[in-house]
Amino acid sequence: MRCVVLAVILMLSLQTCDGGARHHSVAGRDPSVQSALNAMRSATTDRLEILCVPKHILTRADLGPDLLEKQYNYRITIRMLHASELQDDLIRALDQPSIRRAAAQPPDVRWACIFYDTNNTRVLAMYFDGFGRKGLINGTPVTSVGPIVEVLERRCASLWG
């Protein structure tokens, strides 16, 4: 009888651990990251603008989002985003458990991904430093954005050599 009780307790604790892990991974995602994923997956997200100041270019001061949008070196516009493989790559890169909310220290941003809907309204703005350590998603500071920066470098940097 003890063996049966122990087996039941063990099975229940394993189910609780597994269910808790699944719940934690979904519930543990930062709301800003989830909101960005939802916007990227939305059928109404139609266009993406990618802005870049390469990390090897020195600036007098750190670039913030407003300054990057005015003084970018490169700009790529992708229309009909849903027909682009880049959208899937960005979604996979953003869907990482390592991307977390960070302290309010603004990063020196070198990349911007600005998404627009079919009415030409901005629905999502993401900014990242050149090294993939820090970023902003709709104004919320985040860390560990390396996979996103890697996708941008792989897909875009070759266009300007």
At residue 100, the pLDDT reads 87
Q: pLDDT (tens digit, 9 = 90+) per residue, 26-69? A: 445 788 899 899 999 988 899 999 999 998 999 988 999 999 99
Cβ-Cβ contacts under 8 Å for 33 (sequence gap 6 or more): 94, 99, 137, 142
Fold entry, domain 29-159: Dna Ligase; domain 1 (3.30.1490)
Q: Which residues pair with 52 in a beta bridge?
A: 74, 111
Q: pLDDT (tens digit, 9 = 90+) per residue, 82-104? A: 888 899 999 999 998 888 888 87
At residue 32, the pLDDT reads 87
Q: pLDDT (tens digit, 9 = 90+) per residue, 119-154? A: 999 999 999 999 999 999 999 999 988 999 999 999
Alpha-carbon distance 47 to 116, whole Å? 5
Domain positions in the chain = 29-159
Cβ-Cβ contacts under 8 Å for 89 (sequence gap 6 or more): 151, 155
Q: Which residue has the higher pLDDT, 13 or 94?
A: 94
Global pTM reads 0.79
At residue 161, the pLDDT reads 62
At residue 16, the pLDDT reads 36
**R_g of the chain, CA atoms, integer Å:** 20
At residue 9, the pLDDT reads 42
Q: Which residue has the higher pLDDT, 17 or 40?
A: 40
